[in-house]
Structure 1
């Protein structure tokens, strides 16, 4: 392997190769600490390209060089008060899945086919 030598760790550090931000988490600074890649090996017949890509552990060339965490204020408020629940009255008319998306459910009999005759035999 060519390039800068590892600075006393199990593998190369991202900062040996690239300029990194000061708050970069350790998992991105030393990607060799990631475990579990390639196990268990699926049967070759059922192996997908996503599995082939995901079976390889990331290297210093594939991990991000900066980390910008987000605030957890919104998630914390949901955990305290719960998800929003609409308790309003539903006044919308229901659509019929049988007679089509543009037809509302009505109290009268549905005319499904032009040959439909409710008082006698149907003639197709």
Structure 2
């Protein structure tokens, strides 16, 4: 008897009926044989927006993006890329220059005859030495 009263306040979700049929893209249009299953079945895509937005602040892009696609918006052909360049970089890694820099860094602030020492915070700025000489 307690089981009958426990279910009264519970929220019951409707079960999906087996009578409804999903319309596939291949039922309406001629599609390629190598078309991925996600493009042949528009029911697997849901709208992007699930929460309610105040209609005063809702844009047309949000309205369009919240709707599920139909078979008329699904692609009928699929041409994948070979990813030859990406696969090579995945195995070997991106190029990184590990060379040793032997050139002197010249700076306009200190003049053409002075080199800048970025690690020396005291002697770096030219205003510290108004006579143009370093310590």
Provide TM-score, normalisation by structure 1: 0.58
RMSD: 3.1
* Gapped regions of structure 2 (runs ≥ 5): 1-18, 112-125, 131-135
Query: Is the Cα–Cα contact under 8 Å of residues 47 and 65 in structure 2 kept in the other structure?
Result: no
**Displaced runs of 4 or more, over 6 A:** none
Deviates further, 57-66 or 25-34 = 25-34
Q: Higher strand share goes to which structure?
A: 2
Give the Å deviation of 1:23: 0.7
Provide TM-score, normalisation by structure 2: 0.54
Specify the structure having the higher radius of gyration (Cα).
Answer: 2
Residue 66 of structure 1 corresponds to which residue in structure 2?
A: 77
When residues 93 and 10 of structure 1 are mapped into structure 2, their CA distance, relative to the original with a 3 A threshold, is farther
Give the Å deviation of 1:27: 1.0
* Gapped regions of structure 1 (runs ≥ 5): 1-7, 95-103, 111-117, 119-124
Structure 1: distance between partners of 2:45 and 2:66 = 12
Residue 13 of structure 1 corresponds to which residue in structure 2?
A: 24
Alignment of 1:19-58 (within 5 A): 19-58=30-69
Query: Is the Cα–Cα contact under 8 Å of residues 10 and 32 in structure 1 kept in the other structure?
Result: no
Figure out how many residues of one structure are paired with residues of the other and give that number.
95
